[in-house]
Structure 1
Amino acid sequence: MTYQPPTALPQALLDDEEMQRALAVHDFGTVFRLARSRAQVSYSKIAAECDIKPIRVGTLARGEGRVTSFAKVVEIADALRVPGHMVGLAPRPWETEGPPAPTPRGEMGTTNVRRRTVLQVATTTGLAAALPALHRPPTPQRITVQYVEQLHARTTRLRRLDDVLGGGETYRVYLSEYQSTKAVLRTASTTDDTRRRLLSLLAEQAQQAGWAAFDGGRTADAGSLYEESMAAAREAGDGDLLGNSYAFLAYQTADRDQAAEIAARSCATITDATPAGVRALLHERMAWACAVADRPAETERALDAARNALEEQQHGEHQPDWAAWVDQTELDIMTGRCWTELGRPLRAVPVLTDALARYDDAHARDKALYLSWLANAYLTAGEVEEAAKVTGHALDLSIGVASVRPRRRLAPVLAQLGRYRTLPAVFDVLERAGA
């Protein structure tokens, strides 16, 4: 079969008031009916492009039922090339939750301006337009190993967006990649080998989309994607990605004991063939789950296991790209976070201070998050002025980050600082946060 680009609704139809009203309330039955009657887009083509059963398209067009899943809304909008604002993607949660961001000042100006520029380009033109080199290659009639490798390289490049953009901006990009690969699995011809490779890629893409969903405040969507990733990894026989799916799910699970149990399942996937970087990643996520569950002995064992894995990593040993970010600095930061959660500031502060001094401010979202744990540790130790100083730095870094997590992490820190507002350093940071 030859590649067919996604169906694009004509601009004249998108400008129609009835169409705009239908899109705003996710009334896709009306959208489909108008697409057929005014743009001659058949229901069968809509069904194929939007991954909906043809009978379901007809049912929706008759006004029976609704599309209620946000992920499906995004998928349909992408398939029909409907601009995001028309399907009600605003207000965005990272702009409405937690303390307002302060005005940029001091040495952080350059970093924040650069990040805001990227965000503005991505928001006004769409990430696909902002990154023309990342257009997905056409799908061949028969899937080859080389084609899967092309898609994998594309996924690796797109992962770099997470270094500068929050999940609120990257979610739709990653979700679209996952859905496109899923469509290839459903419609294209594959061998057993290429199907297994595609399933592993699908598991990886589902994890990336799930992480962006979690970062952007869509916890339910993230959980569903992690479950999808587990299913794909199992079918592919990819134990490393299966373990990482468990680790992701544990990280966002609210029940502390349940999260520790899920993290233990992730570590149970480790074998002699598991790359050292993957072992380090799974053990450090296990350490975090145990720290949150107030299990200090298990936390320390998991941190030691992660450290041993990094020390055993051989030069030139292949590590999957999705685990390559775990290094000594990241492990030191996780160690400090764990000791903060366990109420051990004398252990947490030195390791966090040293590690964060090596951590570039360009990774604004992550450093803002990590600084929140350092501020928390200082508060536990009674060092209020130092906590205020660190919190101010975290607030500066959080400007323009499309993620709910920095604000959620900083809100309780600011609340604790509120008890010391008579101190000049604290008063200043509270004023800047708008508290």
Structure 2
Amino acid sequence: MGESPLLPAAPAPVPPRLLADPGFVQAARERDFAALFALVREAGISANRIGGAVGMKPERVSKVSKNEAGVTAMDTIERIADGLRIPGTLLGLAARPWEDRAPTHLPEPADGDDPMKRRHILRGALAAGLTAPALTTLTDTRRSVDTALTAAGTASADLADLEAAAETYGYGYGGQAPTRFLADLVADFADLRPLLATVQPVATRTRVCRVAGQMAGMTAVVLHDLGARSEARAWFATAAAAARESGDRHLHAWVLAREAMVPINWGAPQAAARLAEQARQIAGPLPTAAATLAAAVAARAYALAHQPEQARAALADADTLMARLAATDRADTWLTHGEQKHHVHLSHALTALGDTRRARESQQRALELSAPTSTMTRSLLAVDAAACAHRDGDTEEACRRTVAVLSGLPPAYRNGLVHRRAMDLYRAIPAQHHRERAVRALQDVLGTGGQGRVTP
């Protein structure tokens, strides 16, 4: 028999810093109330105060904190959410009625709106890489902005500064570790929430949604580079929603084209082709960065799906559009489509088609246009070059080159997109070559342990 709940007294809101703490967020998501209550008590809220706020005897609060008693009843979980002011989404609940009148799970710190503190929290969460707490922190930030798209509140961010920040992020990593770049980007993205939550003039709302789409899309790009496939897709969905609301069809097309690169790089080229064609339809026939990117990505998808005619047609369209692009659209940023980026896409598509001569030409041109700090791009081009060597019959050289690339990568890049592309090369090597020394060396550096062998 369960005890009858006490009538809850006044709420005892947990400190804002705790709602942004990865350990607390993880405990809430897992409904680990022993850890959750322990953290709340460590934050200075007594068992008596917790019990009064959630309608529970202090003795039971202590037992739950010590994992001597559990919490499973839905009404109790709801009382905990309401009494401690824990946003419903953290506990797997619908948004609570009081959330319309209170900050969500990235609230203002106790000392006011402190973007620098939030940035430090994100950097700390990402310091060890894309761990579960780090991904939870990123997800919470994204969901807070998702909620704000339809909420009402008070604006506090400077839109012009955020637009400038989005433009700066568009120039890419600039030699930074991807996780450091990601922490700063998501911290600035979180500053959009109060602007989104405020009733704005139409023109201002359009600008806010546009920068939200850009920042969410670039966050997805970084997550994709780091190999976090499902998280990248969730951020792309947020970016697409913001782009649609902004009315910027070119941004919407760019988001879909970039999203198509997720299934391209994770073994689902048909799904990628569908997304790329959707992007092409939204972008329209005019020579824009989004239209050119969508055509180039479609070419890669079709080439990997063994549809050479469609791939070559898309390549021709991409080249035609590229030749007609305005100078502003040819800038070397993530949100535009410069010559370097164009040749990176062509390198992958032509390599997959087996057109190794043209692929090498694109690889060489892309390398000439790539900054020395472009670790990700240069590594992908090197793996493409290795794949060309394999297609031309020199599998041993292909393996040596790929091992050199992987061995020389900084730790932040070793488990993401470059690793996946190298694995694609390994799987393309026929089984009869798997006992050769060079192939075994590639297998070792990939950490396959002999698994995942796929004969073409």
- Does the TM-score normalized on the shorter chain lie above 0.5? yes
The equivalent residue for 1:394 is: 405
Report matched runs for 1:2-401 at 5 Å. Answer: 7-8=16-17, 29-30=36-37, 31=39, 35=43, 37=45, 57-58=81-82, 67=91, 76=105, 83=121, 90=128, 92=130, 147-165=158-176, 167-186=178-197, 188-253=198-263, 254-271=267-284, 276-315=288-327, 322-324=334-336, 326-401=337-412
| Counterpart AA for 1:265 | Q
Asked whether the 8 Å contact 1:185–1:195 carries over to 2, the reply is: yes
The equivalent residue for 1:119 is: none
| Counterpart AA for 2:248 | D
Q: TM-score, normalized by length of structure 1? A: 0.66
Distance 2:418 2:229 in 1: 15
Asked whether the 8 Å contact 2:280–2:294 carries over to 1, the reply is: yes
| Counterpart AA for 1:371 | A
Distance 1:379 1:245 in 2: 33
Q: Deviations over 1:121-141 (max 9, x none)?
A: xxxxxxxxxxxxxxxxxxx97
Q: 1:192 to 1:226 in 2, by over 3 A?
A: same
Distance 1:357 1:421 in 2: 36
Structure 2's unaligned 5+ residue stretches are 1-14, 54-77, 94-103, 110-117, 132-152, 450-456
The equivalent residue for 1:107 is: none
Q: Deviations over 1:15-34 (max 9, x none)?
A: xxx98996997858434565
Give secondary structure in 2 for the equivalent of 1:164.
Answer: coil
Q: 1:180 to 1:275 in 2, by over 3 A?
A: farther
Distance 2:289 2:441 in 1: 42
The CA RMSD measured in Å over matched residues stands at 4.5
Asked whether the 8 Å contact 2:122–2:187 carries over to 1, the reply is: no
Distance 1:370 1:170 in 2: 22
Shift of 1:169: 3.9
Distance 1:86 1:328 in 2: 36
| Counterpart AA for 2:45 | S
Q: Deviations over 1:152-196 (max 9, x none)?
A: 10122234453434544433433333332133211x352111111
Q: Deviations over 1:236-294 (max 9, x none)?
A: 1110111112112222135332221111010011246x663232222212222222222
Asked whether the 8 Å contact 2:383–2:401 carries over to 1, the reply is: yes
Shift of 1:143: 7.8
Q: Which of these two proteins has the greater Rg computed from alpha carbons? A: 2
Distance 2:282 2:28 in 1: 44
Q: Deviations over 1:32-59 (max 9, x none)?
A: 5654627x99x9xxxxxxxxxx988426
Distance 2:188 2:31 in 1: 22
Give secondary structure in 2 for the equivalent of 1:362.
Answer: coil
Q: 1:160 to 1:235 in 2, by over 3 A?
A: same
Asked whether the 8 Å contact 1:356–1:367 carries over to 2, the reply is: yes
Asked whether the 8 Å contact 2:171–2:332 carries over to 1, the reply is: no
Comparing 232-241 with 331-340, which one deviates more in the overlay?
331-340
| Counterpart AA for 1:395 | L
Q: Deviations over 1:373-392 (max 9, x none)?
A: 21112112112354245324
Asked whether the 8 Å contact 1:337–1:373 carries over to 2, the reply is: yes
Q: Deviations over 1:326-370 (max 9, x none)?
A: 222332232221122234434433432454355344201121122
Asked whether the 8 Å contact 2:256–2:279 carries over to 1, the reply is: yes
Higher relative contact order (CA 8 A, sep 6+): 1
Q: Deviations over 1:44-75 (max 9, x none)?
A: xxxxxxxxxx9884267799996479xxxxx9
The equivalent residue for 1:96 is: none
Distance 2:32 2:275 in 1: 38
Q: Deviations over 1:60-117 (max 9, x none)?
A: 7799996479xxxxx9579665856986974647xxxxxxxxxxxxxxxxxxxxxxxx
Q: Which structure has more helix as a fraction of its residues?
A: 1
Distance 1:252 1:167 in 2: 17
Give secondary structure in 2 for the equivalent of 1:162.
Answer: coil
Q: 1:321 to 1:429 in 2, by over 3 A?
A: closer
Q: 1:56 to 1:372 in 2, by over 3 A?
A: farther
Give secondary structure in 2 for the equivalent of 1:335.
Answer: helix
Distance 1:381 1:245 in 2: 35
Q: TM-score, normalized by length of structure 2? A: 0.63
Shift of 1:295: 1.7
Distance 2:183 2:80 in 1: 24
Give secondary structure in 1 for the equivalent of 2:192.
Answer: helix
Distance 1:353 1:212 in 2: 25
Asked whether the 8 Å contact 1:392–1:429 carries over to 2, the reply is: yes
Asked whether the 8 Å contact 2:28–2:90 carries over to 1, the reply is: no
Distance 1:406 1:244 in 2: 22
